[in-house]
Structure 1
Amino acid sequence: MITGRWIIPIEEIRENTGKVCGGKASALGILHRKGLTVPAGVCICTAAYETYVDRTGLRGRILLELSRKHFEEMRWEELWDISEKIKHMFTLTPFPGEMEKELEEGLASHFGDKAVAVRSSAPGEDSANTSFAGVHASYVNIRGARAILRHLRLVWASLWSDTALLYRKEMGLDILSSAMAVLVQEMIEGRVSGVAFGENPDNESEAVIEAVYGLNRGLVDGTVEPDRWNLARQTGSIKTHMPAEREKAVFAGGEGSELKALPEAFQKTPPLTPAEVLEVFELARKAENLFGVPQDIEWTFRDSTLYILQARPITTILREDRDEKRRWYLSLRRSFENLKELRKAIEEKYIPAMQAEARDLERENIERLSDSALAGEIERRAEIYRKWYDIYWEEFIPFAHGARLFGKVYNETINPEDPYEFADLLSGTEMLSLERNRKLEEISEKIRKSPELIQSIKEQIEAEETAPEKESRPEPEIVPAGETRPSDTDTRHSDTNRTELEGRPEIEAERKALTEFKEELDSFISRYGGSYSESPGAKKGLYRLLLEMALHPPAPMPAEKISSNRMQYLKEKFISGFEDKNKQCASELLDLGRASYRLRDDDNIYLGKIEAELKRAFFEGRKRLNERVHEEARLPEEAQAFYAPELAAELTKTLRDPSYSPKWKKPPLKSKILREKVKPRQLLGNPSGRGVAEGFAKVILKETDLFNLKAGEVLVCDAVDPNMTFIVPLCSAIVERRGGMLIHGAIIAREYGIPCVTGVPDATELIKNGDYLAVDGYLGIVTVLKRRE
């Protein structure tokens, strides 16, 4: 009999209840009726979810968040942000009174104080067309009706996880019509658990069984390596057995589960006997005969009884695994143990090696190379950069998930009012970009205290801006204010001028200050210079930037923006949310999250130094080419400041063979249709840095635009990367087209207490240089108060 309006026992589930009970519960209902052993339990049907989101107003709030930007334009960082905000709504929104009472009474009558598993069962989940494998949440070892209700909301919230949103998008499903049923089943604390594939995804003549000691969770999330058996699909005979190391297993503990070391006797013994392997195989075949297609099943042995926990078709899994984009995105979601291993490899292996390679490249005098040798050097450096670029995406980017994992755990444990409160606890960590910015401020402070140095830099900048542009012109040479620079046409007068000035103490002191300034600047570029440092005009731009900093009061440094009392409060708040035995693990997770947060920024600077050395060789080749060939063969003017593989390929061919006519491809110009036809007053994005500020817009469309930013302007760009953050102390606010609380612009903005709005569609198209903006980092709104005339 159906219990209440929203609770259906598994034995009452029928084949036609998929839209009410979801795919997972429907499959278990069929398995139960056919005599297979299934844990006792109930399904909280989709009507409960629909009632909850309607009566609490959540449906409208979810729609509002999803309408901030076209879903098709969202990057994974933005999906994660929106997901965290929506999921957090579920944890903060209580059940309507009568609904909570009815659900609590029904669950208490079924389970009392028994441990249960709370698992997703969305319509379409585990079906022949959409599997949703590993997308939605499940929780084990939950006791008591109130705890079940809390985890019920968490499972409902997982309907809006970033991976669930991405999956629905790729499957062409209507995201707003999504609903969720939830399975609540008695907890089966199996001695051995695993999965079985009725058909090997790699060999249709085989079946595959994987098994671990304890619970399945360790196998599913990759924490525990399973033993693996390949069997003949027709007979069930064992063809191969690949044993695991069997060092650890996941067991029920407290509320949830915990990873424990296995006793030595278990480490030496396979989790299944040959007879048990055959029993699991026969269970998989029974499930296949019931549903008509090979099944992927989860199972567990308690004592000698074999339970089937879930079953879903294999065919869909194979199709979705062929989606490379989604496979890559899911690969970012690493377990805590895997993230610790990644951190060790990054900090102890990759970063030192990357730094050493950058130093070796920096020491090479490429100006002395012949044209042919320089062509080879450009290609060699491109290979080196590609190697590190691949490592960056395969190792560094997945480690960035550590900050997201910490945010997820923080929100589910602490349930704060602000879903992004966790970012405050991660901030304040020492990052290379902050160290670099402090050094820039030290240099600008020396300029600020020296009127003579200010005047010398001003004169040099004016001279550079009024002189005709030449490819071969050297970088600026700053001389003492008032001293004449020798010219090619009148060396006698400049020599006389220098002779008259010799010995004057104030000139000598100024020369010394200038020498020290240039040496300090060269040292700065050597240590921190990223990919922009080798772009044409970078040093001239740096002079302008330093002068701008020197002519204005210093920006508050990050240390002044961070309250140590608040940091300590948040830390204690987080740690206190765990039982005593788990507090050490919580501290380790916080440390890992901070390392991930820091390296998410630092790794780009390390990679940027490798890229800068590639650009140095490329720009040397470009300079030679433009000096020696006719105008038609030169690199197109609009591509002068860029490095691109296709440009490099033509450049190296020309360096090796002067008679070769390069086939330059002009870089595509951004469309200006939006700028001409659309002039919105308000733009909506994601609030990513608290605060409100006003200022004139500085739109960054190319690298050299960075150095023209003035104090108090609003930085508007496609995305801030760590090689750009040296200009942030001058900004009043940041607006980015790309979105995410954990992208670089948002991170650095919070460190400096600067308002930041990310994920603003077409920001660099809709906002013009000189527009006067108001940026609200609390609400994620950018208002154009006055358009540039």
Structure 2
Amino acid sequence: MKTTYLLSEISRDDSAVFGGKAMAIRRMHGAGIRVPATVCISIDAYKRFVGESGLQEKIQLELHRKQFADMRWEEIWDGALRIRNMFLRSRIPESLAREITETAAKYFPDTPVVVRSSAPEEDTAASSFAGLHESFVNIRGSAAILEHVRLVWASLWSDRALLYRQELDLDIAKSAMAVVVQELVPGTASGVAFSVNPANSAQGVVEAVYGLNQGLVDGAVEPDRWLLQRKEHTIKEHNGPERSKFMAPAGDGVILKDLSAEKMMKPPLSPEEVITVYRVARSLEDIFGKPQDVEWTRINSDFVILQSRPVTARQDGDADDKRGWYLSLHRSHENLKKLRLKIENEHIPAMISGAADLAVTDLALLPDAELAGEIETRRAVKEKWTGIYWEDFIPFAHGMRLFGKLYNDIVNPEDPFEFVELLAQAPLMSLKRNAALQRIGAYVKQNPALQRALAAEDHENISDAELNRLMAEFSSQYGDPFCGTYGDKTCAESREGLVHIIMQMADSSTMEERKQNRAGRNKADLESLFFEKFKQGDNRARAEELLDLARASYRLRDDDNILLGRIEEQYVLAVQEGRNRLTRNHITAAEQLPESEVVRCLRDPGYRPGLRESREFSPAPESRQMKARQLLGQPAGPGIGRGKARVILSPGDLALFKKGEVLVCDAVDPNMTFVVPLAAGVVERRGGMLIHGAIIAREYGIACVTGVPDATKLIHGGDEVTVDGYLGIVTVGQGADSSPPQGA
């Protein structure tokens, strides 16, 4: 069956076979509009590949590992990466591979191309979602084109597409992906044109950058932007950025280069060219009968239209729909480099100094009214940094994922998460904090009298100068790990929990052993294997840069939460001081008052808040009927761990953790990771290979399974649990056991 076609061989009724993008290009070509030389690969090629390779059944199993509604962003990305790896490692039928490579060699013998998705559901009026599927720029040679066709096929099941599975009507049995292969037009300027401004129906928009359009699409190059009057086709407004870079072809991809001094001072398009581009967009609106979002490039003085899709109407949408935010996490390499500089040079120093500045204030000396103001100030600081955390720190975590995709594309490993072994380099702040606790524990272990005093819980009367120095040094550098971990838990109560953990550390000799075991994994071999795939030059330098970026992303994924915790701690201390004063003033249940009521009471001594229902945590009663022998999740930390379950449901549970127990929780908060080195294993309801609990568990070589539905309901405190971090199986019950794999 033939699967590769020229535009002239496609009829206007073939949309279900070639997809929206291919049909739009075919229609423009038929209307006499200049488009690049194009070959279309039908959905029959995709169907044959997934059918003969067994991929359809594998995708079915992957997408039913867990109820989709219960999956977080991290789990969706992990699932998409596993599917992508299945595509990479599955053999394309020989006759199909031959047809695609021979067609590519015939029409693009020495020509670089762009390989684009063209799903039947994509770029239609009902569902125009830019960027859900993959495109690859500057691909050379028939073998490389075939491999990138494979990656475009895999992107039918990308994390972004899975988020919009309902709108795209994704169905394992029915959905398929066509592909468009276009000659790369090395334009001197490129951009997009909207025949109607999504924000103002009386206007149109033209955006332009120097070089390839990839710079604009990736967000690496800020465009010049013109607003035009739709009716008159006249320019209403021009906003010019600070021009400095452009995207150009390089090797087997693209590279960001510096603009000349002359181009920095000059827009990529003249006013006449802006109007010319806009008129093309309006003519395409007439052809398609709907407002169009047009991608174009200029070569010499001519404009070439790369693709056209319906304009996506701007919608305010559901406030609870976070999918748009998730799509914003996908950052380009260049965008991530800028974000790293901002985080490391601006945010982190400001967070450290900000927490230190707040800590200088002696809250006990403030009059009540000033304490009320201090609480509000600290809340504002906390909210500011929480906003920055979501705006900058979380998107920077995409650096790990970007590297993971590159590593899998180049190395083609059996384990799609093998790349994670390369990410740990500089010690994480959590590990430094844990090592400091271990040093305090080692000191206590050497002093039997001190051990006995701590065991007797006579904390107030302990006058050991060295212990006090170590504790003060720890608190100064890392804060109180219990303070603020559970919102309303007071820092004074948490000291008892910290002493308990130190006692467990004193009785533990596993931390360094575990770190040594982890260090024994041959990271150097994996790194060599990765770099061997690159020739010297731009591609090798980019690979080294991306690995360095991913390592920074991995480190900051943990460190940022510790730093945010220091700021939150200062807020909790101020609220706690207010509650303590109200208690001394005989205000009923002051420890349960929300911050707003605490502030009001401090400012108005005569105010008495009404009694409120207790906000103490009340865990749901255990149901012994809800019992399972084996629970399935995602293997996130290799190893086998056995022990009694410590289920974290309430504020006091973490402080009671003992060496050798299995940590079972909804999710390991970064401020909780100090107990992980004591654990025999970790089980989390929240899923993902790159969440905090999984990261720390791997650092210590502790078995970890994430994404276990209802883990804290189906596992009860004291249950014997075996955690199989190789297979993602948690076995529950008296005498639970599991046979470890060979070499475990």
Q: Provide the TM-score with structure 1 as the length reference.
A: 0.88
Which residue of structure 1 lines up, in the alignment, with residue 601 of structure 2?
A: 654
Residues 515 and 701, structure 2, Cα contact 8 Å, conserved in 1: no
Shift of 1:559: 4.5
Determine which structure has more spread, i.e. the larger CA radius of gyration. Answer: 1
Which residue of structure 2 lines up, in the alignment, with residue 782 of structure 1?
A: 730
1:518 maps to 2:501: no
Which residue of structure 2 lines up, in the alignment, with residue 592 of structure 1?
A: 549
Equivalent residues in 2 for 1:250-399, closer than 5 Å: 250-316=247-313, 325-399=322-396
Which residue of structure 2 lines up, in the alignment, with residue 529 of structure 1?
A: 479
Shift of 1:194: 1.2
1:692 maps to 2:637: no
Distance 2:407 2:700 in 1: 23
Which residue of structure 2 lines up, in the alignment, with residue 225 of structure 1?
A: 222
Residues 428 and 562, structure 1, Cα contact 8 Å, conserved in 2: no
Which residue of structure 2 lines up, in the alignment, with residue 754 of structure 1?
A: 702
Find 1:477's aligned residue among 460, 485, 504: 460
Equivalent residues in 2 for 1:761-772, closer than 5 Å: 761-772=709-720
Identity, % of aligned pairs?
49
Provide Cα deviations, 1:319-373, integer angstroms capped at 9, x if missing partner. Answer: 7799962332222222222222222222222222222221222222212334333
Residues 123 and 179, structure 1, Cα contact 8 Å, conserved in 2: yes
1:578 maps to 2:534: yes
Distance 1:97 1:658 in 2: 85
Residues 33 and 305, structure 2, Cα contact 8 Å, conserved in 1: yes
SS in structure 2 opposite 1:680? coil
AA in 1 matched with 2:568: E
Find 2:580's aligned residue among 623, 635, 644: 623
SS in structure 2 opposite 1:578? coil
Distance 1:169 1:678 in 2: 32
User: Larger deviation: 764-773 or 9-18?
Assistant: 9-18
1:353/1:658 Cα in 2 relative to 1: closer, same or farther (>3 Å)?
same
1:622/1:267 Cα in 2 relative to 1: closer, same or farther (>3 Å)?
closer
Q: How many residues align?
A: 728
Find 1:446's aligned residue among 440, 443, 447: 443
1:139/1:317 Cα in 2 relative to 1: closer, same or farther (>3 Å)?
farther
Residues 694 and 704, structure 2, Cα contact 8 Å, conserved in 1: yes
Residues 38 and 308, structure 1, Cα contact 8 Å, conserved in 2: yes
Find 2:500's aligned residue among 544, 547, 562: 544
Shift of 1:745: 0.5
Shift of 1:42: 2.0
Which residue of structure 2 lines up, in the alignment, with residue 634 of structure 1?
A: 589
SS in structure 1 opposite 2:374? helix
Distance 2:224 2:725 in 1: 51
SS in structure 2 opposite 1:724? helix
Distance 1:654 1:175 in 2: 59
Two-structure CA RMSD over aligned residues (Å): 2.4
Provide Cα deviations, 1:283-319, integer angstroms capped at 9, x if missing partner. Answer: 1111100111110001112223322111111144657
Distance 2:645 2:84 in 1: 34
AA in 2 matched with 1:76: W
Which residue of structure 2 lines up, in the alignment, with residue 185 of structure 1?
A: 182
Which residue of structure 2 lines up, in the alignment, with residue 555 of structure 1?
A: 511
Which residue of structure 2 lines up, in the alignment, with residue 729 of structure 1?
A: 677
Residues 634 and 708, structure 2, Cα contact 8 Å, conserved in 1: yes
Distance 1:648 1:425 in 2: 44
SS in structure 2 opposite 1:438? helix
Residues 201 and 318, structure 1, Cα contact 8 Å, conserved in 2: no
Equivalent residues in 2 for 1:483-502, closer than 5 Å: none
AA in 1 matched with 2:55: L
Provide Cα deviations, 1:160-186, integer angstroms capped at 9, x if missing partner. Answer: 221111122566654664321111122
1:710/1:258 Cα in 2 relative to 1: closer, same or farther (>3 Å)?
same
Shift of 1:677: 4.1
Distance 1:659 1:264 in 2: 67
Which residue of structure 2 lines up, in the alignment, with residue 195 of structure 1?
A: 192
AA in 2 matched with 1:608: G
1:73/1:177 Cα in 2 relative to 1: closer, same or farther (>3 Å)?
farther
Which residue of structure 2 lines up, in the alignment, with residue 470 of structure 1?
A: none
Which residue of structure 1 lines up, in the alignment, with residue 662 of structure 2?
A: 714
SS in structure 2 opposite 1:735? strand
Residues 770 and 787, structure 1, Cα contact 8 Å, conserved in 2: no
SS in structure 2 opposite 1:660? coil
1:198/1:726 Cα in 2 relative to 1: closer, same or farther (>3 Å)?
same
SS in structure 2 opposite 1:27? helix
1:457 maps to 2:454: yes
Residues 735 and 760, structure 1, Cα contact 8 Å, conserved in 2: yes
Unaligned runs of 5+ in 1: 462-475, 480-510, 640-645
User: Larger deviation: 175-184 or 438-447?
Assistant: 175-184
AA in 2 matched with 1:570: L
AA in 1 matched with 2:500: R
1:664/1:575 Cα in 2 relative to 1: closer, same or farther (>3 Å)?
farther
Distance 1:319 1:43 in 2: 36
1:290/1:674 Cα in 2 relative to 1: closer, same or farther (>3 Å)?
farther
Q: Provide the TM-score with structure 2 as the length reference.
A: 0.93
Distance 1:671 1:169 in 2: 35
Equivalent residues in 2 for 1:237-256, closer than 5 Å: 237-256=234-253
Which residue of structure 1 lines up, in the alignment, with residue 141 of structure 2?
A: 144
Which residue of structure 2 lines up, in the alignment, with residue 609 of structure 1?
A: 566
Distance 2:84 2:214 in 1: 22
User: Larger deviation: 537-546 or 364-373?
Assistant: 364-373
Which residue of structure 1 lines up, in the alignment, with residue 740 of structure 2?
A: none
Shift of 1:240: 2.6
Provide Cα deviations, 1:1-33, integer angstroms capped at 9, x if missing partner. Answer: xxx432232222233222211111111111122
1:732/1:323 Cα in 2 relative to 1: closer, same or farther (>3 Å)?
closer
Shift of 1:121: 0.4
Equivalent residues in 2 for 1:166-181, closer than 5 Å: 166-169=163-166, 173-174=170-171, 177-181=174-178
AA in 2 matched with 1:312: R
1:382/1:206 Cα in 2 relative to 1: closer, same or farther (>3 Å)?
same
Which residue of structure 2 lines up, in the alignment, with residue 22 of structure 1?
A: 19
AA in 2 matched with 1:580: Q
1:635/1:531 Cα in 2 relative to 1: closer, same or farther (>3 Å)?
farther
Distance 1:323 1:275 in 2: 44
Distance 1:666 1:99 in 2: 67
Shift of 1:653: 2.4
Which residue of structure 2 lines up, in the alignment, with residue 205 of structure 1?
A: 202
AA in 2 matched with 1:708: L
Find 2:429's aligned residue among 417, 427, 432: 432
Residues 59 and 83, structure 2, Cα contact 8 Å, conserved in 1: yes
Provide Cα deviations, 1:668-723, integer angstroms capped at 9, x if missing partner. Answer: 96774884542122211111111111111111112321121111111011111221
Provide Cα deviations, 1:78-116, integer angstroms capped at 9, x if missing partner. Answer: 111111111111111121233323333343334334322
User: Larger deviation: 443-452 or 266-275?
Assistant: 266-275
Residues 672 and 765, structure 1, Cα contact 8 Å, conserved in 2: no
Give the helix-richer structure, 1 or 2.
1
Which residue of structure 1 lines up, in the alignment, with residue 522 of structure 2?
A: 566
Unaligned runs of 5+ in 2: 484-489, 737-744
User: Larger deviation: 657-666 or 729-738?
Assistant: 657-666
